[in-house]
Structure 1
C-alpha cells in the first residue's frame, strides 16, 4: 500500500523547462495576434485610467495650496477632481468590458485548439497520457489562465503603472522627501526577489499536487466497477488521502509565504509614511515645502504601497497561468505520430485491396512486434487473423486503420500508401470495431448514426436489422430513441456490441476490421451476428481477429501469426486438416466447448 502511495506522489515532479517557456510565449503571441487593435485600445485605456488616478492627489495639493482662501480656484479644482474621478470610472468600465471580450475570445480559441489537437493525436499518445491529465489540461489549467484574464492581469499591469508613476511624481514634487521615500527601495526589492523565488517553487508544487488529485479522482471513478469488484476502496482512500494531504501542505506553504511577504511590505510602507510625515512636517514648519505637497505625498504613498502588498496575490495568479500555458503549449507541440499528408491523394471509390510491403513495426525501440511482413489481400476477401496473445494480430489491424504508421515499409489501400491518402477518404474507407464497443451518451439511433451522421432514420433501422439488433432495440422503453446513458450503461455488453456493429455497417466501409468484436456476445447473439456477417461482409474486405474460432469459419482465408510473422496462410477448411498451428488451435477450441 505504501508503495502505491509513493508511486503516485512520485509522479508529481515537474521541473521547469526553458523550452516550454519559449513554446508558451509563442502560443501566447499566436493567441493575441488576432486582437492586436483591441490590445492597443486596452493599453490606451489603462494609461488614461492611470493618468486620471494619478491626478487626484495632485489636485488635492492644488486645492490646499492654491484653493484655500480663493473660492474660484477651489471650485475649479473640485470640478477637475470630479472630472478625473469620472474619467477613471469610465475608462475602468470600458477596459473591463473590452478585456472581457478579448479574454473570452482568447480562451475560446485556446480550448478549441487543444481539443482539436487532442483528437488528432495518435492512439499511442492517449494510451500513455492518462485521461485525468487530459481533463486537468482542459479544466484546471484553462481555469488558471481564465483567472488571470478575468481581472488579475489588468490589476497587475495597473499596479506596475501606479508604482512607476508615483515614483516619478514624488521625485518631481519634492526631491528631498522623495529620496527619503526611496530609501525603502532596497528592502522592497530584496523582499520581492525573495518572494518571487520562494513562491515560484511553492506555487509550482501546488499545481503539481492538485493535478495528481484530479488524476486520481478521475481514474478512480472511471474504474469504479473494478474498484468495487476487488474491494479496493480503502486503498484508493489512502492514495487520495496522501495526494490530497500533499496538496494541503503545498497550499499551506504558499500561504505562509504570502503571510510573510504582505505584512512585511505593509510594515515597510508604514515606516516610510511615518518618516515622510515626520520629515515632511519639519520641512513645512521651516518653509521648505508646502502643506499641499505633504498631503499629496502621503496620498501618493498609499497608491505606491497598496499595489505592492497585493502583488503577492497577483504573482500567484501569474505563476499559475504561466505554468498552465506552458503545459498547454507542450500538448499543442506534441507531434502527430500519424500526420496528415502534405499532398493528399483522394480515393473516392475504394475497392478495398490491401498490400503490406516489407512492413516492420515497433511500439518502442526495444519491442519489435512485426519484424517484416509481406501480405496481399484482394478486394472483397475476408481474412481471419489468429494466433496467441502478442502475436501481432491487433497491431496489424491498427496499421490498416492507420492508428499507427509502420516503422519501415508501407501499407497500401488500392495501391495508395495510407500515409498519402486523404484523411477523410481513409476514415470512410476503413472502419474498425473493437471489443471496447464505446457508446456515447444519447439515443440508440444517434449512436448508430455516428457511423454516418447524414443517414436517415430508415437507414439506421436497416443497419440495425441487418446485424440482428432491431428486435432488442424496439423492445427498449423508447425504442431507437432510448437514451443509452453514460458509455451505454443502460445496455448489456452484448447489446452494446450489436449497436457498435450497426454503426460500422451503416458507415459502409470498403474495409471492415473486427478486433475481438464478438468477445462480449453470448452464443445466440453471436449466431445472429455471424448470419448477418456472411451477407454484409460478402461485398467488402474484412479483417477478423477472434479467439472464438466459430467466428473464423466465415472467413475466406486464415492467417496464423506467431512472433509477428505469418506461419500459416490458407482457407480454414484446408488448415484444419493440415495438422499445423491452426488445426491445433481448432482442436483446443472444440475441446473447450465440451
Structure 2
C-alpha cells in the first residue's frame, strides 16, 4: 500500500521515532521574554508577605546603616593612631601652632598644611590608647549589631520566600485541575512537568539567593553614597562617575544574555519531554530496536541544551569581570586624588582610609547586583514559564446553584450534538442518541469514528460546539462537574494505577471504602482470585508503572475500582482488551450483573463482547450509520455485518 502526497506523488517518509513534545511542543526560544512585566508580576506575588517584607526591609536598613558607620569609626581610629605618631615626633616645648609656623618658615608648606588640619595633635604625646580602645569598641559593637540584624533579615527572607513558593506550587496544582483536557492534550507532558517542578525549583533558589541580597545591595549603595558625600563631595563625584558606565555595560550584556536563558529553560523542558517519553515507552523502544535513535535524539536535544546554557552563562559571566575592571579603575583614581588631598591638608588620613573602604563597599554591591543579573534573568525566565501555566485557559466555571436529577435514573440523551477537535475538521454533526435507564448501549466502528469522543463529551472532558446532552432531562452543561462525574463509573483501555497497595488502588473508587468493600468488589470482578496468590495479598505494593503486575491484572483492578464506585452510569472503553479469553468471559458475566441497574456505554472493537447489548450503535465519521440489536444488524447486512464478517470469517481479503 503506497501513500500519496497532495500532488499525487509519494509522500515524504515519516520521522523514525517520536520527537520530544510532539507537534504541539513549545519551540525553544520562539517567544521573546518580557523581562520587566514578568519581574513585576513576580514581585506582586510577594504581596501576601507584606508584613514580612516590611520587617525584612527594616532589618536590612539597620544592617546597612550599622555597616556603613563602621568605616567611618575605623577612620577615626586611624586618625587617633596617626595623630599620636605625629605628635610623638614633635618638640613638646612648642605648641602645634608654633610647629606649623616653623614649617612655613622652612618652606615646607605641605607638611605645615597637613599639621594645621590635625587639631588633635599634642606635641610630644603619643597614641591615646584609651581613646583608641573606645573607638575600637564602638566599631566592634557596630559590626556585631550589623551581623545580628543581618542574621535576622536572612531568617525573615527565607521564610517569606519559601511561603511564596509554597503558594505558587499550590496555585499551579489548583490550576492543573482547572485546565481543560483539550489544552493539556496539546502540551508536551515532559515540558509541563518541567514547568511545575524544575522551573519552580529554580525560581525558589533564585529568590532565596537574590531577594535579600539585592535589596541589601541597593540600600548599601544609597547609604555608602551618602557617607561618601558627607566625607568628600569631590571624591564622591569620582566614585559616582563609574555608575552610569557600569550600568550601561550591565544593560548591554544582560540584554544579550536574556534570550539565551529563555532558550535554556525551554530546552530543559524539551529534554525532560524526551526523557519522559522514552522512559514510559522503554519497552516499545527496545522491541522496535530504536535505542540508537532515542540516544541520538537525546544527544541532539542535550547538545542544544548545552549550547543554550553555555551561551547564557558565558555572556552573563562577562558582567562581573567588567564590573571588577571598572571598580579597580575607580579605586586607583580615589587613592591618587585622596593622597593629594591629604598632602594638601584638605582631608585627614582617616577620612581617606574610610573613603577607600566606602568606595569598595560602593562598587562591591554594584558588582553583586551585576553578578546576580544572570540568576535574576534565569529566575524570571522560569517565572514566565510558570505564569504561562497559570494563565492557561480554564474550564467554564461551575454554576452557582446547579441542578441535580433526583432520583438519578440514568437516562442519557444526545440532542443534535455537534463537536470538532479542530475548527476546520468536522467530527460529530447533528448526533441524536437516547440511552434509557438500565440499558446497555454498545458503540462500534472503525478507528477515528468518534466512539471515545462520545464518552469525552458525556464526561464533559470537552465542551460541545452545539446541541446538548441531558441526564434525566437536565442539561449536563448546567450541572456541577463533580456531581456529574460522581454518577459515572469509567474503565479505560489505558490502565492507571498509582504507587500504593492493591487495596488502596481499588479503594480509590469510593471515598471511605472499607477493606470488606474492597474485597467484595475484587471478588465480583475476579481480582480476588489472583490477589490471594500474592505473598502480601491486598497489601502488595504496586510498583512504579505497575511493573510487577501483568496488563490483564492491572485492567482487572481498574474494573474492580469501577465496581466499588457503584455508579449510575457505567462507561467501558475497551475495558477487557488486555484480559485473556477465559477471564473475559468471567468479567463479562460480572459486568452483566453490574449493568442490570445501570445505563451502560460499552465501546468495543471485539464484537464478541457486545452480543448481549440492548442497542448497538455503528459510528462512522462522527455519525451513527446503523443501530439495533446484534441479530437485527446482522440481518440488515450493512456496516455492522461487514465488521462482524471481518472478525469472524475464516479469511479476509487484503486491504488496499
Given candidates 117, 136, 141, the residue that maps to 2:175 is 117
SS in 1 for 2:443: strand
Bigger radius of gyration, 1 or 2? 2
> What residue is the counterpart of 1:236 in the other structure?
294
TM-score of the pair, normalised by structure 2? 0.86
> What residue is the counterpart of 1:178 in the other structure?
236
Deviation of 1:441 (Å): 1.3
Deviation of 1:142 (Å): 0.7
Distance 1:214 1:588, change over 3 A: closer
Within 5 Å, give how 1:49-448 maps onto structure 2: 49-65=63-79, 69-337=127-395, 339-347=397-405, 349-448=407-506
Residues 418 and 430, structure 2, Cα contact 8 Å, conserved in 1 = yes
Given candidates 55, 60, 63, the residue that maps to 1:41 is 55
Distance of 1:525 and 1:159 partners within structure 2: 71
Distance of 2:241 and 2:638 partners within structure 1: 92
Residues 171-211 of structure 1: CA deviation (Å, up to 9, x unaligned): 22101111222232342122112122122123223222222
Residues 172 and 389, structure 2, Cα contact 8 Å, conserved in 1 = yes
> What residue is the counterpart of 1:560 in the other structure?
618
Distance 1:16 1:393, change over 3 A: same
Residues 463 and 505, structure 1, Cα contact 8 Å, conserved in 2 = yes
Deviation of 1:530 (Å): 0.6
Given candidates 577, 582, 586, the residue that maps to 2:640 is 582
Deviation of 1:366 (Å): 1.4
SS in 1 for 2:144: helix
> What residue is the counterpart of 1:11 in the other structure?
27
Distance of 2:344 and 2:266 partners within structure 1: 59
Residues 452 and 603, structure 2, Cα contact 8 Å, conserved in 1 = yes
TM-score of the pair, normalised by structure 1? 0.94
Residues 144 and 317, structure 1, Cα contact 8 Å, conserved in 2 = no
Distance 1:463 1:27, change over 3 A: farther
Residues 424-444 of structure 1: CA deviation (Å, up to 9, x unaligned): 211210122110011111111
Deviation of 1:251 (Å): 2.5
Distance of 1:571 and 1:325 partners within structure 2: 57
Deviation of 1:26 (Å): 4.4
Deviation of 1:5 (Å): 11
Deviation of 1:531 (Å): 0.6
Deviation of 1:577 (Å): 1.8
Q: Which runs of 5+ in 2 are unaligned?
A: 1-12, 84-126
Residues 69 and 142, structure 2, Cα contact 8 Å, conserved in 1 = yes
SS in 2 for 1:320: helix
Q: Which runs of 5+ in 1 are unaligned?
A: none
Given candidates 472, 483, 508, the residue that maps to 2:566 is 508
Distance of 1:6 and 1:162 partners within structure 2: 53
> What residue is the counterpart of 1:489 in the other structure?
547
Distance 1:280 1:46, change over 3 A: same
Distance of 1:183 and 1:330 partners within structure 2: 41
Distance of 1:163 and 1:233 partners within structure 2: 56
Deviation of 1:136 (Å): 0.5
SS in 2 for 1:577: helix
SS in 1 for 2:557: helix
Distance of 2:188 and 2:140 partners within structure 1: 57
> What residue is the counterpart of 1:472 in the other structure?
530
Moved more, 260-269 or 532-541: 260-269
Distance of 2:530 and 2:336 partners within structure 1: 90
Residues 365-394 of structure 1: CA deviation (Å, up to 9, x unaligned): 112210111222111111001111111111
Within 5 Å, give how 1:454-469 maps onto structure 2: 454-469=512-527
Distance of 1:226 and 1:398 partners within structure 2: 27
Residues 258 and 312, structure 2, Cα contact 8 Å, conserved in 1 = no
Deviation of 1:22 (Å): 4.6
Residues 467 and 502, structure 1, Cα contact 8 Å, conserved in 2 = yes
Distance of 1:304 and 1:25 partners within structure 2: 26
Deviation of 1:592 (Å): 5.9
Distance of 2:130 and 2:14 partners within structure 1: 80
Residues 277 and 298, structure 1, Cα contact 8 Å, conserved in 2 = yes
Distance of 1:38 and 1:85 partners within structure 2: 24
